Amino acid sequence: MAVLTAAGRRTSRGGRKRATRVPPVVLAFVLVPLLAEGFWVFWPALQGFYLSLTKWDGISPPQFIGLGNYREMIHDTVFHTAILDTVLWLALFGGLSAVLGLGAALLLQQERRGVGFYRAALFLPVVFSLTATALVWQAMYQPDGLINKTLSGVGLGSLTHPWLADQDTALYAVIVPALWRQIGYVMVLYLAGLKGIDPALYEAAKVDGASKWQQLRHITLPQLRSVNAVVLSVIIIDSLRSFDVVWALTRGGPYHSSELLSTYMYSTAFQSLRLGYGSALAVVIFVLAFGVIASYLVRAFKEAD
């Protein structure tokens, strides 16, 4: 609230009066982008909620059926699989990318010879599209691909596998490329966080005779708390949005074994043309994401002031 306005009005005018003196062009600066976002995001989002209460094939007018779509979900076994897979995805993809990203950042935080190369190697996949990432890994997973070849080569031929075609392994096989791409991103966030820690804290700890492990536990981790919050939000939002890599690798198959809520929503809406039910699935994704969005916004709210 202490922001000085352009006109430099520091006289004791009332807050209301000051607010009315914002030049019209400045108001337009806010309104035009807001309208663009309102048109393409907020208005469609409201429609999305309404459509979730309808039965709609996309051609004839939507038919209002109240909570019918949600009632159907209760008995929809594919939906159950998709929910379970999404939770599994959150736990595995989210958990591992946070832990491994932090590990990579701790390993590579110090400026020493060669560290730039290692960082770049881990970071490079971040710039690939998930579609390209998926195809790269599809080649690795082929029956005669490098993974099976390596397994046979080291005498573990019994483990070779049609990784993406097997219901038991498809989901995990899809998580690996997603992780391969995400870990470098999380590492960058943690590297910046680590750089922000005051070195004097470590000096003091060393004087007190703290071991490396104690320093990690009592200085590094607590100091990273704000980064943790961001990483967690990013990961949860990313997990619920995850679509490209699954769609490119398995399209949710075989037999829905790698189906996430997002892929199920897409195929229901745009392939089965059940737009009402698809909207209801999207609302479920929204509700799951909402808690994260809300806590992220609360944090942003504090910072914005």
Partner 1 sequence: MSVTHAAAPAAEQGADTRPAPPRTTRGRRRVWGTVAFHTSAGLISALWLVPIAVVLITATRSFDDIAGHGLGSAPHSFTLGGFRQAWVDGGQQQALINSLLVSVPTVLVSLLLASMAAFALSRYDVPLRRVLLLLMLSGNLLPPQILLIPVSKLSEHLGIYDSLYALIGVQVGFGVGFYVFVLHGFMRAIPPEIQQAAVIDGAGPWQIYTRIILPLARPALAALTALAFTWIFNDLLWAITVLRSDTKMPITASLLGLQGQYVSQWNVIAAGSVIAAAPTVLVFLRFQRHFVAGLNLGAVK
Give me the least distance between CB of 117 and partner 1, in Å please.
Answer: 7
Q: Which is nearer to partner 1, 83 or 130 (CB)?
A: 130
Residue in 109, 120, 260, 130 with CA at minimum distance from that of residue 182: 130
DSSP 157-177: GGG---TTT-TTTHHHHHHHH
Query: Among 33-41, 71-79, 87-95, 161-169, which window interacts with partner 1 (CB under 8 A)?
Result: 33-41
Q: Is 220 helix (H, G, I), strand (E, B) or coil?
A: helix
Give bridge partners of residue 63 from the DSSP assignment: 55
Per DSSP, 63 falls in state: E
Note whether 115 binds partner 1 by CB under 8 A.
yes
Residues from 131 through 170 that contact partner 1 (CB under 8 A): 131-132, 135-140, 142, 144-150
Q: Which is nearer to partner 1, 171 or 231 (CB)?
A: 231
Q: Tokens for 190? A: 């943690």
Give me the least distance between CB of 261 and partner 1, in Å please.
Answer: 8
Give the integer Cα–Cα distance in Å for 44 and 50: 10
Residues from 71 through 100 that contact partner 1 (CB under 8 A): none
Residues from 197 through 256 that contact partner 1 (CB under 8 A): 199, 202-203, 206, 212-213, 215-216, 220, 226-227, 230-231, 234, 237, 240-241, 243-244, 247-248
Query: Among 67-75, 91-99, 161-169, 262-270, which window interacts with partner 1 (CB under 8 A)?
Result: 262-270
Look at the block and give the residue holding tokens 């009005």.
9
Residue in 253, 261, 271 with CA at minimum distance from that of residue 76: 261
Q: Which is nearer to partner 1, 36 or 91 (CB)?
A: 36
